[in-house]
Structure 1
Amino acid sequence: MRIERATEADTEVVSRMLGEVEAYYGGADTPADTDQIRAALFGPQPAATVLLARDGDSVLGFASYSFLWPAAGADRSIYMKELYVRDEHRRGGVAGQLMEAVQQAGRDAGCSRLEWTADADNPPALHFYEAFGVEPRKDKPFYRLPL
């Protein structure tokens, strides 16, 4: 298995996996809009980076991240928005390798910390993150304002 940064040629597979993520959370398994993906990942002002876990030609999962500023003082943080492993590849170390790759991207960029959220009704994810020895923060509620 190898972890590598997605390229524009990976737009279709990212689209399909975003549909799988929606289905995982109870929505429709509908591929995401490829034009939106191209603009978000490969346009003049990329909003995020996607790392793909591959085994040969198969994509096993992905992680997406963005950089945030300020984190503490004037330093930066890396924010992992999504960590997803396809059902048939779960519990095989894929998520751990993706998580390590995101951490390394943060270290390489000089970030002081990695931040992420997890859904409270996703026990497998919560259990996975507990293995890193990180307690969920109780002092920072998460808010979402539709635009």
Structure 2
Amino acid sequence: MITIRQAGPEDFELVAEFIRKLAEYEKLAHEVRFDDEVLRGHLFGEHPAAEVLIGEVDGVPSGFALFFQTFSTFEGKPGIWLEDLFVEPHARGAGLGRALLARLAALVVERGGARLEWNVLDWNELGKGFYRSIGAAHVEGWERWRMEIDAIEALSRGV
């Protein structure tokens, strides 16, 4: 049986473990550098920056989705950005990923939103196939851009 629940502070270690496992899967473990207490505060503190769903198969935590609210000025409505989605290898194919995304879709609807969005690594054909199977599509014509902390700090100082 699959169940989806909202994570609480007592789930922090589990969430941190899932983040690390996702990074390993994505071949990005070298980029994981969060401080536990800082991350804990951003997820479960007074003003959470993100939310987490835990997916369980037969009562065993087997995956998670970490997400936060976005806003579309064109739609004039909020949306959800899925930052992380991970399902343990033993639970893949059981419907847990679909159940986590279905819960996120329900949250978009409940919150009066317009979009559920995420990134997928260009080499992740398995993920792309799964996303197509649930009705998602690649957004043509857009590129992802990013500023890292050194550039952010320089810009903030007017440099």
Please, what TM-score do these two structures have when normalized by structure 1?
0.90
Query: Equivalent residues in 2 for 1:48-59 (5 A)?
Result: 48-59=50-61
The offset of 1:18, in angstroms, is 0.9
Q: Within 2, Cα distance between the matches of 1:16 and 1:107?
A: 29
Corresponding position of 1:40: 42
Worse-superposed segment, 56-65 or 12-21? 56-65
Higher helix share: 2
Q: Specify whether residues 117 and 136 from structure 1 end up closer, same or farther in structure 2 by C-alpha distance, changes over 3 A only.
A: same
Alignment of 1:74-113 (within 5 A): 74-113=76-115
After TM superposition, give the deviation of residue 134 of structure 1 in Å. 2.7
Offset at residue 57 of structure 1 (A)? 4.5
Shift in CA distance, 89/144, structure 1 to aligned 2, threshold 3 Å:
same
CA distance in structure 2 between the partners assigned to 1:65 and 1:27 by the alignment? 19
> RMSD across aligned C-alpha pairs, in angstroms?
1.9
Q: Kindly state the Cα deviation for residue 36 of structure 1 after the two structures are TM-superposed.
A: 2.6
- Residue 11 of structure 1: how far off its partner (Å): 0.3
Q: Is the 8 A contact 1:15 1:33 kept in 2?
A: no
CA displacement at 1:68 relative to structure 2: 0.8
Superposition misfits of 4+ residues, deviation over 6 angstroms:
none
Deviations 1:82-111 (A, max 9, x none): 111011111110100000011111111111
Work out whether residues 57 and 96 of structure 2, in 8 Å CA contact, stay in contact via their aligned partners in 1: no
Higher normalized contact order (CA 8 Å, seq sep 6+, divided by chain length): 2
Q: Which runs of 5+ in 1 are unaligned?
A: none
- The 1-side partners of 2:22 and 2:4 are apart by 19
Q: What amino acid sits opposite 1:85 in the alignment?
A: V
Could you tell me how far 1:70 is from its partner in structure 2?
Answer: 3.2
Larger Rg: 2
Q: What secondary structure is seen at the aligned counterpart in 2 of 1:96?
A: helix
CA contact (8 A) 1:5 1:50 kept: yes
Secondary structure at 1:76 match in 2? strand
Q: Is the 8 A contact 2:57 2:91 kept in 1?
A: no
Q: Kindly tell me: are residues 73 and 97 of structure 1, through their superposed partners in 2, closer, same or farther at Cα, counting changes over 3 Å?
A: closer
Please list every run of 5 or more consecutive structure 2 residues that lacks an aligned counterpart in the other structure.
Answer: 150-159
Distance in 1 between residues matched to 2:132 and 2:20, nearest whole Å: 27
Is the Cα contact below 8 Å between 2:65 and 2:84 reproduced in 1? yes
Distance 2:136 2:12 in 1: 33
